[in-house]
């Protein structure tokens, strides 16, 4: 499966459970950075992949989907085990 077809398949599915299993470290970092639940973190990832700037209330208060993901990525990068 090519990268493009994998991304298209992911965008078609939008299942929160599959996001939680595919991105466990990112979800964990988002929970630590923005104090999100696992479901809120997965919904934020889904909304960012769909091109939405805003998501659930906790993400919106933090600054939007992009800000949460960028800060979580930075946190994960510098605090890797």
pTM: 0.77
- Please name the residues in contact with 19: beta carbons below 8 A apart, sequence gap of 6 or more: 27, 42, 45, 46
pLDDT of the residue at 15: 84
Reported as a single tens digit per residue, the pLDDT across 10-48 is: 666 678 888 899 999 999 999 989 899 999 999 999 888
How many angstroms separate the CA atoms of 43 and 7, rounded? 16
Q: What is the DSSP string of 67-81?
A: HHHHHHHHHHHHS--
Whether the per-residue pLDDT at 8 is higher than 70: the answer is no
Q: Which residue has the tokens 């470290």?
A: 25
Confidence of residue 68 (pLDDT cuts 50, 70, 90): very high
The fraction of the chain above a pLDDT of 70, given in percent, is 81
| Helices marked H in the chain | 3-13, 16-22, 24-34, 38-49, 57-62, 65-78
């Amino acid at each position: 499966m090519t990268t493009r077809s994998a991304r298209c398949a992911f965008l078609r599915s939008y299942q929160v459970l599959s996001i939680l299993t595919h991105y466990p470290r990112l979800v964990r970092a988002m929970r630590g950075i923005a104090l999100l639940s696992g479901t809120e973190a997965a919904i934020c990832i889904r909304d960012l992949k769909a091109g939405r700037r805003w998501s659930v209330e906790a993400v919106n208060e933090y600054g939007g989907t992009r800000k949460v993901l960028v800060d979580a990525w930075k946190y994960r990068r510098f605090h890797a085990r």
